[in-house]
Structure 1
């Protein structure tokens, strides 16, 4: 969506390429945090110079001035630093020139092309992804290893660039090789299949079985305090938390994150397979308990969505997840997208546990200004239907609407005001004024549901 908003002229190109189906023992699990902000340790003279820059235009100008001496690691470094700079703007003329230079020198990357694809995916610049496929990947995809192919598939799916031939080739190559997939590879591939709605039974079944086998091995290793060949890459014999991403250029593994992402994907691909989804949840909670690792806000959001997609209402699993959700407010990466997804999930699951409700109203009270208008509208409606009325949160919502444009602000203030009146009705208090505004609220709501958000 960010791509379409920034580059509307490419919207038609994308749609023409769409597929039709659109440790508390001698070991410690590897723990690493994921973020949209890429971490790249400078290891070349150019990278050190770029790392000191604070403005987007300065970085692009530096790259253009030194284009004749830039190596592939310098280009990767420049794309990694862009998101953190002031005045970040992918539509600037100089960025387009720099991107053209990169597209003319794709041969520099050879088997490391997956790193370039990943950087463009994080930036959300889909035109480059299309060019890379047409000029490089189409004819050389068979030369890449499983790790590279799985990361590439995730990158294209994340940016809604659904090139059917690309995903067909990746699935055929990866699933027919003798080499085993690791946990991250499986998680990325499952996520991709769920995003593009690829539900070929033999492919999903093979990935599911390999995934279950790996997480069972990790669980058994933690319980028995002895490793085997299936779990060595996920454990640290020194008993320390290892951040593999400190090794330059590597793609690191986060066991808990991978399991959460795979659980959500399986719930989409196999919504009726409740036994598998339940098994994944139980193994995950056993692993986090044995390793003393917490689940990040992104992981918790994925788990709530997994329960929603599968309509799994196991009381033990819900209890564990509500307990894990108690610390969401302390995670700085917990954002409006995650909040919106969790509210939608608990509404559909009919869950009103105080532990998760408190995280929601606390975030609305403290950080509600970060929401988009459509998210605010959805949350207002859902909280009203769940009869969740928190005075401070609702007052803050009314204040935040003043930061929006006039039409949207007026509509949301009307909705919030009518919700307060709805609360009075809930308490048994009502008069002609309250009933009149409530009727107006219902008319506005019906218009939005029929014609879309303004």
Structure 2
């Protein structure tokens, strides 16, 4: 079981390439207040692209306050000019979803989507569903209409669109059985077609390699016969009276070699690669499959067969170097193994081998580490292939983790009796910074853990004691 350790580094940051004058000016701003003053001063000159660019840049600003008067003023301007986005409203919906601005999502639904949702294409519908689900904003009327569209357009949807729809329904957990079956059947159809394409590429590659070997052998034989020909010519020149003459044999052999070379050359030159983009599946292929895989593990925990189909497809094509997997995909696989409670040794072995990619992927975040740790704890796995790469990221990123994720990971590793000195040292630094945001009972548990396992020093335990005292005072006298 050998996997090539090659990985693409996908950035989770939403990059924006400015293509208008005002969008190019936005790039220099760092702080939210300054940026909003610029937007309000120039909004009358903004085009649709400038508005989309502004909402994109806000996501990366420092000290963002979506309740500020300056943002509300700018947002009112967008509301008044909402007609500009009627043809591609999904882009605007997506930007507001990334910002988490539910008020704007409700406004867009009431004023644009409510009476026009049936007029949008598959890509827009899937992105709209994803955006509303991302904010846990379930509008029953909206998703009822999306259900109707899904039934009618399912046979024309791409794998990426299906992944967005699946993720959206897993988030709101309201996918009726009929739609679930429709989406699943479409995924089967697309991946079976893609599998045939991939098999064709692999067969062509194997044939090419085989023919290349044959060509090398023929070249070697050609050299041998040419040397033999020269030796025999010398022999015939030396012994002119002999009756032996196989010039005809040599000429026939040369013609055969020449003919074979020509035919093999034509076959060898026919090396146009199948790009694996039929049905629009190549881009983000592993990401889309893993999104669908994880979504269905959440929606239907009683059907592991769909997961096994997708998992086998991924493994097969990674082994054949036709697919690469990211940290998010590896996380999705571990979540599925946990949800379906799969403990098959061969499947676990493949998952552990895939986990060796984690160390090479800079996009590993707090949520991914938390999901994987919870999964290996539930599956009772303590293999170094997964632990080593988890520790690598935890040591570097635990200081910036979400505090609840940090707490869960510390308690799980304590329960698993895993005591890496360097890792627990970083945990000690992190809890001094973040533990104040936990509940009183959680802080007491952390204090107990660091006391029992011997990883806490006077400083760590003293800080936790202070946090406990503060929380107890708040419980008695109220918040500060």
- Give the TM-score normalised by structure 2: 0.74
Q: Is the 8 A contact 1:32 1:254 kept in 2?
A: no
Per the alignment, residue 33 of structure 1 pairs with 10
Shift of the alpha carbon at 1:254? 1.1
Q: State the alpha-carbon separation in 1 of the partners of residues 423 and 439 from structure 2.
A: 17
Distance 1:166 1:84, change over 3 A: same
Picking from 102, 108, 130, the partner of 1:126 is: 102
Seen in structure 2, the aligned counterparts of structure 1 residues 174 and 359 have a Cα distance that, compared at 3 Å, is same
Mapping of residues 44-443 of structure 1, within 5 Å: 44-177=20-153, 180-225=156-201, 231-235=278-282, 253-404=283-434, 406=436, 408=438, 415-416=445-446, 418-420=448-450, 422-423=452-453
- Residue by residue over 1:411-452, the C-alpha shift from the partner in whole angstroms, topping out at 9 and shown as x without a partner, is 76754453355447xxxxxxxxxxxx9xxx9xx9xxxxxx9x
CA 1:285 to 1:178, structure 2 compared with 1: closer, same or farther past 3 Å?
Answer: closer
Bigger relative CO (Cα 8 Å, ≥ 6 apart)? 1
Structure 1 residues 282 and 398: CA distance shift in structure 2, 3 A: same
Relative to structure 1, the CA distance from residue 71 to residue 102 in structure 2 (aligned partners, 3 Å threshold; closer, same or farther) is same
Rg larger in structure: 2
Decide whether aligned partners of structure 1 residues 288 and 229 sit closer, same or farther in structure 2, where only a CA change above 3 A counts.
closer
**1:402/1:409 contact within 8 Å kept:** no
1:139 CA drift (Å):
0.9
Root-mean-square deviation (Å): 2.9
Give SS of 2:419's match. coil
Give, in whole Å, the separation in 2 of the partners of 1:408 and 1:277.
Answer: 36
8 Å CA contact retained: 1:384, 1:419: yes
Superposed displacement of residue 129, structure 1: 0.7
Q: Deviations over 1:167-217 (max 9, x none)?
A: 111111122137510001111111111111123111101100111221222
1:24 alignment counterpart:
none
8 Å CA contact retained: 2:356, 2:386:
yes
Q: 1:263 to 1:421 in 2, by over 3 A?
A: same
For normalisation by structure 1, the TM-score amounts to: 0.78
1:40–1:80 CA contact under 8 A, matched in 2: yes
CA contact 2:158–2:281 (8 Å) conserved in 1: no
SS of equivalent to 1:41:
coil
- State whether residues 368 and 396 of structure 1, in contact with CA within 8 Å, keep that contact through their aligned partners in structure 2: yes
| SS of residue paired to 1:84 | coil
Please, which runs of 5 or more residues in structure 1 have no aligned partner?
1-30, 236-252, 425-436, 445-450
Q: Confirm or deny: 8 A CA contact 1:401 1:409 kept in the other structure.
A: no
Work out the number of aligned pairs and report it: 383
CA spacing shift, 1:402–1:229, aligned 2, 3 Å: closer
- Cα distance in 1 for partners of 2:39, 2:187 equals 42
Distance (whole Å) between structure 2 residues aligned to residue 117 and residue 177 of structure 1: 21
User: What is the distance in 1 between the residues matched to 2:277 and 2:423?
Assistant: 48
Question: Following TM superposition, where does structure 1 have runs of at least 4 consecutive aligned residues deviating by more than 4 angstroms?
Answer: 226-230, 405-414, 420-424
Q: Give the match's secondary structure for 1:177.
A: helix
Q: Name the CA distance, whole Å, in 2 between partners of 1:134 and 1:327.
A: 45
| Corresponding residue number in structure 2 for 1:12 | none
List runs of 5+ in structure 2 lacking aligned partners: 1-7, 202-272, 455-460, 469-474
Task: Note the C-alpha offset of 1:154.
Answer: 0.5
